[in-house]
A and B are shown apart, each in its own frame.
Chain A
Amino acid sequence: MKLTPYNNASTAAITKRALVIGGGIAGMQASLDIADAGYEVVLVEREPSIGGHMIQLSETFPTLDCSQCIMTPKMVEVSQHPNIRLMTYCEVEDVTGDVGQFDVRIRKKAAYVDREKCTGCGLCVEKCPTKVPSEFDLSLGKRKVIYVPFPQAVPPKPVIDAENCRFLTSGKCGVCKKVCEVEAVDFEQTDTMIEERVGAIVVATGYDLYAKEKVAEYGYGRYPDVISGLEFERLNSASGPTTGEIRRPSDGKVPREVVFIQCVGSRDREKGVPYCSRICCMYAAKHAMLYKHKVPDGQAYVFYMDIRADGKGYEEFVQRGVEEDGTLYLRGRVSRVFQHGDKIVVWGVDTLAGKKTEIAADMVVLATAVVPAAGSRKLAKALDIVTDEYGFYTEAHLKAHSVESGKPGILLAGCGQSPKDIPDTVAQAGCAASKVTALFSASEVGGSLLDLPMRFTASKSLRE
């Protein structure tokens, strides 16, 4: 089959090799699907390990199964797949060319560790004298300056955080270099540029949470016991900083009353973003349930606007939380959150009862808005694709081409396109992968397809 360009321009060969940007669940799924179809994949992740946000989660809704039980075998599969070339701690800098022949410049960031030589023995991490807050545990735990972000990291090789390293900032220390038996630590390392030619690109860069400073009204960042949903995930995780015990950050006390506040930043036209973040209703229901399972005499309250439980088994899950675990839902907004003694007092209104409510809680968990990952706009510019006003990648058509970007050969997957839950992310990633393999199954493609998404031309040639 030959894909006919719409305007019958000259044809060009297709490089049957895909680039996937982002190593979260979306990027991993897309990579595995393309690789299983027999095509080569270059998977680029900017963090030292793949796994993304999903590996940070303790359990997943609505089944309450352990997120790491899904992720860790998948991460190993990605790293060992013969068709996947994994490039962690790398960033896509620049992309030129068109569908079938993109030339990609990738920056391999200086890890100060020769990750080929490194055996992952962990001695350097053990001996490193400096501790800094761990990004993976959202500052609830500590990590060393030479570090693997979390124990199951893939690859299990450390990198040095140049900003905090004693040797790189002041020239003293160098303990890691001294203890390394295979001489993998290399303080002279610099960023290097790698060029790759690929035929198609899947953009799966994911999300971040709404910045702390922007939700100061709820005391986030000011009171240590006001935390975000993702921080709660780490508190609840058996491999997290508290080994799965729910203990509040300020004094390590087990909280007896926890207030969950929904729509923090999202659905807020004045101060935040107008869209719905889609996952918060469900994860708050999950958090309340998991909290109750671990603190049976505790009470969870949820301040909500509406409950949006639109997936398979979701509504039943929310109901289960109410009926079996006694989660108390209060419909209304919170007006004030303030510290009083060792309590966090939450003033709100229960609009269904028409009453003001006051809860003296031990901990407050905010469902902060999902926003595009930092750097999404910059990447969009490099890829020559469009983002909306918030920075989410714009699809070619919201309904008919929801996986294609406006540019042929560039596909979207996961939360970079819009907030979505894990099942939808996996489905979209699989769809993006199938579009890539459909493109690769053609022998050649026209040179100037800039105007139209790939699908149009492909279906045209199939009709002929």
Chain B
Amino acid sequence: MSDFDPKILGFVCNWCTYAGADLAGTSRIQYPPNIRIIRLMCSGSVDPLYVLKSLLEGADGVLIGGCHPGDCHYTNGNYKARRRIAILKSILRQIGLEDERVVLRWISASEGKRFADTVTEMVGKLKELGPNPLRERWQI
């Protein structure tokens, strides 16, 4: 599995995690280039269906990044995300997918290092888990 290069999709909020990812870049922190970022205004606007769709289309992992509790620029979007992702994870387990493939993490705009660490950690974990089984299923 060592040559397996996981694909991670990141849904990150405009205010905290996107700026945190930006800081990781401008601080020139090195991290694996396995993540593709999609910027949303808030982690609360991440419909769990987006995450499911990503997994169905073959993403090996999905990161949802939001502001720390209490920091949400829309008051409580991150709390909504937290509840939704908790439910989503239980559904993933039921359909036989490892729930570690989906990671929800609070990363503020000053935490470039935390963003880089999160991606590094996810890539390590996904290499352990191996490719998303759904991806292979869809390939004929």
> Is the pair B23, A69 in contact by a Cβ cutoff of 8 Å?
no
Of residues A73, A156, A244, which shows the largest number of chain B Cβ atoms within 10 Å of its Cβ?
A: A73
Known: A73-B15, A151-B23. A238 touches B113 (CB 8 A): yes
B110 touches A66 (CB 8 A): yes
A contact residues around B67 at 8 Å (CB): 65-66, 69
Cα separation A277 to B44 with both chains bound (whole Å): 38
B71–A66 CB distance below 8 A: yes
Tell me, rounded to whole Å, the shortest Cβ–Cβ distance linking A402 to chain B: 29
> Across the interface, do A64 and B70 meet the contact criterion of CB distance under 8 Å?
yes
Contact with A along B51-86 (1 / 0, CB 8 A): 000000000000000011011010000000000000
* Residues of the B chain whose Cβ atoms lie less than 8 Å from the Cβ of A152: 19, 22-23, 26, 109
Is A72 at the interface (CB under 8 A from chain B)?
yes
A67 and B109 CA atoms in complex are apart in Å by 8
Interface: B28 (CB within 8 A): yes
The answer to the question of B114 belonging to the interface, with a C-beta cut-off of 8 Å to chain A, is: yes
User: Could you jot down 15 A-B contacts, CB within 8 Å?
Assistant: A63-B70, A65-B68, A69-B71, A69-B73, A70-B15, A71-B109, A72-B19, A73-B15, A151-B27, A151-B112, A152-B19, A152-B26, A152-B109, A238-B113, A239-B27
Task: State how many angstroms separate the Cβ of B106 from the closest Cβ of chain A.
Answer: 10
Q: Give residues in B with beta carbon < 8 Å to A.
A: 14-16, 18-19, 22-23, 26-28, 67-68, 70-71, 73, 108-114
A72 contacts B109, C-beta separation under 8 Å: yes
Q: A151-B23, A151-B26, A152-B23 are in contact. Are A238 and B16 (CB under 8 A)?
A: no
In angstroms, Cα B16 to Cα A365, docked, is 28
Q: Which residues of A contact B (CB under 8 A)?
A: 58, 63-73, 122, 126, 151-153, 156, 237-239, 243-244
B contact residues around A73 at 8 Å (CB): 14-15, 18-19
Residues from chain A with a CB closer than 8 A to the CB of B26 are 151-153, 156
Contacting pair A68 B71 (CB below 8 A): no
What is the distance, in angstroms, from B73's C-beta to the closest C-beta of chain A?
7
New A-B contacts (8) at CB < 8 Å, excluding given A64-B71, A65-B67, A243-B113: A63-B71, A66-B68, A69-B108, A73-B14, A73-B18, A152-B23, A238-B108, A239-B112
Report the tally of A-B residue pairs with Cβ distances under 8 A.
69
Give bound CA distance, A152 to B21, whole Å: 11
Chain A nearest CB, measured from B23 CB (Å): 6
Given A66-B109, A68-B108, A73-B14, A239-B23 contact (CB < 8 Å) = yes
- For residue B28, which residue of chain A has the nearest CB? A122
Q: How near does chain B come to A194, taking the closest CB pair, in angstroms?
A: 28
**Is B22 in contact with A69, judged by CB distance below 8 angstroms?**
no
In the assembly, what is the distance between CA of A446 and CA of B73, in Å?
Answer: 44
- Complex alpha-carbon distance, A126 and B23, angstroms: 17
Q: Known contacts A66-B16, A72-B22, A239-B27; is A58 also within 8 Å of B110 by CB?
A: yes
Q: Is the CB of A68 within 8 A of B110?
A: yes
Q: Which of A67, A70, A238 contacts B114 (CB 8 A)?
A: A238
Give A60's nearest chain B residue, CB to CB. B71
Residue among A239, A243, A244 facing the most chain B CB atoms (10 A cut-off): A239
Instruction: Tell me which residues across on chain B come within 8 A of A156, comparing CB atoms.
Output: 26
Q: Does B113 lie within 8 Å of A69, measured CB to CB?
A: no
Tell me, in angstroms, the Cα distance from A58 to B67 when the chains sit together. Answer: 14
Q: How far is the CB of A125 from chain B (nearest CB, A)?
A: 9
Contact partner, A238, options B22, B70, B110, Cβ 8 Å: B110
- Name the 4 nearest CB pairs between A and B, nearest first: A68-B109, A69-B109, A66-B108, A151-B26
Hey, which chain B residues are within 8 Å of A153, CB to CB? 26
User: Considering only CB atoms, which chain A residue lies closest to B73 in the complex?
Assistant: A69
CB-defined contacts of B18 to chain A, threshold 8 Å: 73
Residues on B with beta carbons closer than 8 Å to the beta carbon of A71: 109
Q: Give A119 Cβ to nearest chain B Cβ, in Å.
A: 13
B130 to chain A, nearest CB (A): 33
Whole-angstrom distance between the Cβ of A139 and the nearest chain B Cβ: 20
Most buried by B among A64, A66, A126, A153: A66
CB of B88, distance to nearest CB on chain A (Å): 25
A65 and B16 CA atoms in complex are apart in Å by: 10
- Bound-complex Cα distance A126 to B73 (A): 35
Closest A residue, CB atoms, query B16: A69
- In this complex, which of A63, A71, A72, A244 has the most chain B Cβ atoms within 10 angstroms of its Cβ? A72
Bound-complex Cα distance A243 to B112 (A): 10
